[in-house]
Amino acid sequence: MTLEIPRNHPPGNEASTVVVAGTTHHPQAWKWYHYFTFNVDHKVIGIQYLVTAFLFYLIGGLMAVAMRAELATPDADLLEPNLYNAFMTNHGTIMIFFWIVPSAIGGFGNFLVPLMVGARDMAFPKLNAIAFWLNPPAGLLLLASFFFGGGSQSGWTAYPPLSLVTAPTAQTLWVLAIVLVGTSSILGSLNFVITILFMKVPSMKWDQVPLFCWAILATSVLALVSTPVLAAGLILLLFDLHFGTSFFKPDAGGNVVLYQHLFWFYSHPAVYLMILPIFGIMSEVIPVHARKPIFGYKAIAYSSLAICLVGLFVWVHHMFTSGTPGWMRMFFTISTLIVAVPTGVKIFGWVATLWGGKIRFTSAMLFAVGLLMMFVLGGIGGVTLGTAPFDVHVHDTYYVVGHFHYVLFGGSVFGIYAGIYHWFPKITGRMMNETLGRIHFILTFIGTNLTFLPMHELGLQGMPRRVAMYDPQFTSINEICTIGAYVLGISVIPFTINILWSWVAGKKAGDNPWNAMTLEWTTSSPPLIENWEVLPVVTHGPYDYGVHNAEVQTATVTEASA
Amino acid sequence: MQQIPVSLLTLVAGVVITLFSLWVGQHHSLLPEQASQQAPLVDGFFNIMVTIATALFVVVEGTILIFLWKFRHRQGDDTDGAPVEGNLPLEVFWTAIPTIIVIVLGIYSVDVYGRMGGLDTHNHAPSHVAQMPGTALAATWNDASGMEMAAPVNEPEIGIGAASDRPQKPADLAVDVTGMQFAWIFNYPDSGVMSSELHVPVGADVQLNLAATDVIHSLWVPQFRLKQDAIPGIPTKLRFVATKVGNYPIVCTELCGGYHGSMRSQVVVHTPAEFESWLAENRIAQQELKQAVAVNPAELSTSDFLAPYTQKMGIESIVHSH
């Protein structure tokens, strides 16, 4: 085969031509070692993201279990307090920047977007590979920080002046790691925007683009707008640490609240970076396993864009007790409350999708429904936190910890699990074990509620967050949370066994085990290197379940790939 | 037996859920006791949110569970569900209802926040000298650390100010509060008393002027429902009226280092007479202490110099953490 493979793309899309760097022979399928190389195939990159992120999830999870073990008693008797703070800081950092964001956007986004829109690869394959390969060195920098000053200890927020006076070497490594993954995120987002806007197969109309792609589009725009601001804030911090500037040094005329604005201008939208792709996964998984068209396609697509827009104007709700004047606290109370509306629209849309369905309780569907149930509580807690008068009481307490774990663990992580159970057959060509999947779900569901529900009460009663030692009156509730965390720790075991065993010896999946209608199911499992022999022609919507009830299901699928 | 119409069942369910939510909103007892004038305002607002939240939670979770059961896949049925792709009136309805709820909550929270004093931008604290009077401690700190200490240069505009029923009135008592790793220092500028605990008379309008020497701290009294960061370089304030005699915890809620969790103190709410005698006692005691220190403070290290004070004031955390 030749180095360059011509495609039947419309004119002007030459950028999508895949160049396989460094190979003269175009392989028929990737060998195992290709997954450890600078490979430009979007599917390889997607898997690289997912596997790397999962390893970091295990590391961050172990830190969480260690912290909960410490918090089983009121005194600091297990971890040295500075090490506790290092675990607390790096647990948050890893879970956000090295697990949820790279797996949801980098992993699923890369694997699925080209397949879903009928493209042979991302718009800029090499840029894509570069974006991934920024992650491993960033992760190594973060892990190395534990050997240089015991890890950064100023929280994932790294507020100065604390971040300027505590473990400066480790803090520097932390800043560099975040700037690297931020760069990766910007490069990846650019790629997604171009791919979705310009590379969908011509026969796909805009209202036939799968909702996951709409979600990734909204996410990417958000990342492109907000990530540079975080990078700016962190680079100023780096200058204060090493080059004698005083942007954030109050004794030399600096302003510490300025950092908080720069930080939250990115980091609140980062919450949507972590949940919008998951919302996309929900919109794919629920219709397939409920055998129903998605309820309100346009409402769900537009609400992603609405969350993306409004989400840029809510950041000060993290600063209601900081150096912010009253009018600002009021303005951001109202903008924050408004974000609840498009989020509610999505939730109601998914619930309505269940109505009249024929719901199959597969592991993927269990996690999707579990997410739905927990996101309701997380969202309601979020509305209460968005109001300044109440937030003044619970800000920086365990109420906040409980809330954001409902949204990010009960939300994002459940969504990632749902996505893995749903697309594992496509990614590997083999089915996952449903029994192990159910055990995994039950343990995770119980563990999540046991760990994070009591935290709300802790915060309301008076326990601050980010503490290694606390008032003994809170001991019994903390014990419950710790037991819950152990259950969550154990829940990962059946999942890991399931992944490893199914990858090697799972039942063969076939092209379309769920009888799903989006384009990724029209190719083989795992997909060919160039995704399709002949690009598919879109003849029906992505969620037309029941529309063609008269026809045999498989006929429509064949039609699509013909 | 004749079947009960669905609309009747829905109506009954609606009434039951409404009554249940109202009951939960008033009886949840999730919050600690109320000890400030602001606490009932915050709690009243929270109770309304709990009522709405309970109703929403029961309706949405209940709907999900009912749907999961009712529309479960049955063995041998390989057809798809009904191809319902949307319903505009329904979508308008469930967009409008949350919009109305959040707008009402937004307006109400502005009202509550105003009544708490959050929208007051003026400083009404009784005027006092910006230097802490008569304390050698402050001077030494200034020399040793080069950091601006305690009493703010500018009067604070950020934070919770005068409650809306006391507009333009100065506070009855001003206390300068300094946060440092890992303790709070409370200065009574009008009487020259310094303490590691906050003592206030019940019913008095108290204004705390917050500052921090090293990193950001945050002062929280859960029973008061009030919190404000103490920020290096930016003066802030927290004004309240304690309504109940007793001891309540003061908690630092902004991560400030390894021993952040041990940065705890308490606020002692006295009767006015008790407060006066506490003030008088400490004025005398601290003057004696000052006379007893005959060494040149500039020759001592900060911790050596602080040792007698920290012992006297019972600041455990500093001593233990180093």
Question: What is the rounded distance in angstroms from the CA atom of residue B193 to the CA atom of residue A186?
Answer: 55
Pairing mode of beta strands B158-160, B217-221: unpaired
Contact at 8 Å (CB) between B116 and B41?
Answer: yes
The mean pLDDT value for B123-135 works out to 45
Residues B201-227: pLDDT tens digits?
999 999 999 999 999 999 999 999 999
Q: Which residues pair with B205 in a beta bridge?
A: B241
Shortest distance, CA A198 to any CA of chain B (angstroms): 27
Chain A hits for B79, CB-CB cut-off 8 Å, are 291, 358, 546, 549
Q: How many CA atoms lie within 13 A of B280 on its CB side?
A: 6
A258 touches chain B (CB under 8 A): no
What is the pLDDT, as a whole number, of residue B292?
Answer: 60
Question: What is the rounded distance in angstroms from the CA atom of residue A121 to the CA atom of residue A125?
Answer: 7
Numbers of helices and strands, H then E, in chain B:
7, 11
CB contact under 8 A, A469 and B261: yes
The mean pLDDT value for A5-25 works out to 44
A496 touches chain B (CB under 8 A): no
Shortest distance, CA A18 to any CA of chain B (angstroms): 37
A347 touches chain B (CB under 8 A): yes
Q: Is the pLDDT of residue A22 over 50?
A: no
Q: Which of A166, A359, A457 is the closest to B30 by Cβ?
A: A457
What is the pLDDT, as a whole number, of residue B315?
Answer: 54
Residues A36-61: pLDDT tens digits?
989 999 999 999 999 999 999 999 99
What is the pLDDT, as a whole number, of residue A466?
Answer: 95
Query: Under 8 Å CB-to-CB from A541, ≥6 apart: which residues?
Result: A207, A208, A293, A297, A517, A547
- In chain B, the residue whose alpha carbon lies closest to the alpha carbon of A387 is B109
Contact at 8 Å (CB) between B82 and B15?
Answer: no
Chain A hits for B229, CB-CB cut-off 8 Å, are 321-323
Q: Name the one residue in this structure whose structure tokens are 């592991």.
A: A363
CA dihedral A217, A218, A224, A228 (to 10 degrees): -150
In terms of Cα–Cα distance, which of A360, A297, A347, A214 is closest to A547? A297
Chain B hits for A76, CB-CB cut-off 8 Å, are 261
More confident residue, A444 or B10: A444
- In chain A, the residue whose alpha carbon lies closest to the alpha carbon of B41 is A389
Residues B172-201: pLDDT tens digits?
999 999 999 999 999 999 888 999 999 999
Residues A351-380: pLDDT tens digits?
999 999 999 999 999 999 999 999 999 999
Neighbours of A33 (CB within 10 A): 8
Q: Which of A80, A351, A460 is the closest to B60 by Cβ?
A: A351
**ipTM of the prediction:** 0.88
Q: Is the pLDDT of residue B131 over 50?
A: no
Residues A81-95: pLDDT tens digits?
999 999 999 999 999
What is the pLDDT, as a whole number, of residue B312?
Answer: 59
* Tokens encoding A544: 């037309």
Pairing mode of beta strands B173-180, B205-212: parallel
Contact at 8 Å (CB) between A174 and A93?
Answer: yes
In terms of Cα–Cα distance, which of A218, A38, A43, A23 is closest to A116? A43
DSSP string, A54-80: HHHHHHHHHHHHHHHHHTTSSS--SS-
Q: How many residues does chain A have?
A: 562
Chain B hits for A393, CB-CB cut-off 8 Å, are 42, 46, 222, 225-227
The mean pLDDT value for A450-468 works out to 96
Neighbours of A155 (CB within 10 A): 19
Chain B hits for A358, CB-CB cut-off 8 Å, are 71-74, 77, 79-81
Chain B hits for A251, CB-CB cut-off 8 Å, are 146-148, 232-233
What is the pLDDT, as a whole number, of residue B135?
Answer: 39
Question: Any idea which of A293-297, B79-83, B95-99 has the lowest mean pLDDT?
Answer: B79-83
pLDDT band at A548 (very low <50, low <70, confident <90, very high): low
The mean pLDDT value for A432-452 works out to 97
The mean pLDDT value for A21-43 works out to 77
CB contact under 8 A, A358 and B77: yes
Chain B hits for A395, CB-CB cut-off 8 Å, are 227, 253
Question: What is the rounded distance in angstroms from the CA atom of residue A183 to the CA atom of residue A186?
Answer: 5
Q: Is the pLDDT of residue B256 over 70?
A: yes
Per cent of chain A over pLDDT 90 is 84
What is the pLDDT, as a whole number, of residue B320?
Answer: 46
What is the pLDDT, as a whole number, of residue A368?
Answer: 97
Average per-residue pLDDT for chain A: 90
CB contact under 8 A, B120 and A326: yes
- In chain A, the residue whose alpha carbon lies closest to the alpha carbon of B111 is A389
Q: Is the pLDDT of residue A505 over 90?
A: yes
Q: Which of B118, B222, B262 is the closest to A469 by Cβ?
A: B262
Question: What is the rounded distance in angstroms from the CA atom of residue A295 to the CA atom of residue A543?
Answer: 9
What is the pLDDT, as a whole number, of residue A549?
Answer: 57
Distance (Å) of CA A295 to CA A298, A549, B18: 9, 18, 27
What is the pLDDT, as a whole number, of residue A27?
Answer: 67
Question: What is the rounded distance in angstroms from the CA atom of residue B10 to the CA atom of residue A425?
Answer: 42
**Three-state DSSP state, B258:** coil
In terms of Cα–Cα distance, which of A104, A297, A306 is closest to A209? A297
Q: What angle do CA A505, A511, A512 make, to 5 degrees?
A: 105
What is the pLDDT, as a whole number, of residue A293?
Answer: 94
Ranges of beta strands (E only) in chain B are 158-160, 173-180, 183-188, 193-195, 198-201, 205-212, 217-221, 226-230, 236-241, 246-252, 264-270
Q: Which of B148, B236, B251 is the closest to A323 by Cβ?
A: B236
What is the pLDDT, as a whole number, of residue B290?
Answer: 65
- In chain A, the residue whose alpha carbon lies closest to the alpha carbon of B59 is A376
Question: What is the rounded distance in angstroms from the CA atom of residue A263 to the CA atom of residue A256?
Answer: 11
Residues B32-61: pLDDT tens digits?
999 999 999 999 999 999 999 999 999 999
Q: Is the pLDDT of residue A411 over 60?
A: yes
What is the pLDDT, as a whole number, of residue A560?
Answer: 44
What is the pLDDT, as a whole number, of residue B134?
Answer: 38
Per cent of chain A over pLDDT 70 is 93
- In chain B, the residue whose alpha carbon lies closest to the alpha carbon of A335 is B106
In terms of Cα–Cα distance, which of B219, B186, B97 is closest to A393? B219
Question: What is the rounded distance in angstroms from the CA atom of residue B128 to the CA atom of residue A252?
Answer: 26
CB contact under 8 A, A257 and B53: no
Adjacency order of strands within the sheet including B158-160: B158-160, B236-241, B205-212, B173-180, B183-188, B193-195
What is the pLDDT, as a whole number, of residue A74?
Answer: 94
A495-499, long-range: CB < 8 A, 24+ apart: A495/A417, A495/A436, A495/A440, A497/A436, A498/A432, A498/A433, A498/A436, A498/A437, A498/A440, A499/A420, A499/A424, A499/A432
Residue type, A196: I
First to last CA, chain A: 24
Chain B hits for A354, CB-CB cut-off 8 Å, are 64, 67-68, 71
CB contact under 8 A, B106 and A334: yes
A85 touches chain B (CB under 8 A): yes
What is the pLDDT, as a whole number, of residue A556?
Answer: 44
What is the pLDDT, as a whole number, of residue B6?
Answer: 79
More confident residue, A554 or A213: A213
Shortest distance, CA B222 to any CA of chain A (angstroms): 5
What is the pLDDT, as a whole number, of residue B106?
Answer: 94
pLDDT band at A227 (very low <50, low <70, confident <90, very high): very high
Question: What is the rounded distance in angstroms from the CA atom of residue B50 to the CA atom of residue A253?
Answer: 44
Contact at 8 Å (CB) between B163 and B239?
Answer: yes
- In chain A, the residue whose alpha carbon lies closest to the alpha carbon of B72 is A359
Contact at 8 Å (CB) between A410 and A448?
Answer: yes
pLDDT band at B257 (very low <50, low <70, confident <90, very high): very high
In terms of Cα–Cα distance, which of B48, B60, B58 is closest to B22? B48
Contact at 8 Å (CB) between A413 and A427?
Answer: no
The mean pLDDT value for A123-138 works out to 96
Question: What is the rounded distance in angstroms from the CA atom of residue A499 to the CA atom of residue A433?
Answer: 9
Q: Is the pLDDT of residue A2 over 80?
A: no
Question: What is the rounded distance in angstroms from the CA atom of residue A198 to the CA atom of residue A183?
Answer: 23
**Three-state DSSP state, B131:** coil
Question: What is the rounded distance in angstroms from the CA atom of residue A414 to the CA atom of residue A421?
Answer: 11
Torsion angles phi and psi, residue A207, rounded to 5 = -85, 10
Question: Any idea which of A1-5, A474-478, B10-14 has the lowest mean pLDDT?
Answer: A1-5
What is the pLDDT, as a whole number, of residue B154?
Answer: 53
CB contact under 8 A, A396 and B57: no
A472 touches chain B (CB under 8 A): no
Question: What is the rounded distance in angstroms from the CA atom of residue A11 to the CA atom of residue B33?
Answer: 71
CA-derived radius of gyration, chain A: 23
Shortest distance, CA B266 to any CA of chain A (angstroms): 12
The mean pLDDT value for A59-76 works out to 95
Shortest distance, CA B291 to any CA of chain A (angstroms): 32
What is the pLDDT, as a whole number, of residue A225?
Answer: 92
CB contact under 8 A, B227 and A348: no
Question: Any idea which of A238-242, B125-129, B219-223, B280-284 has the lowest mean pLDDT?
Answer: B125-129
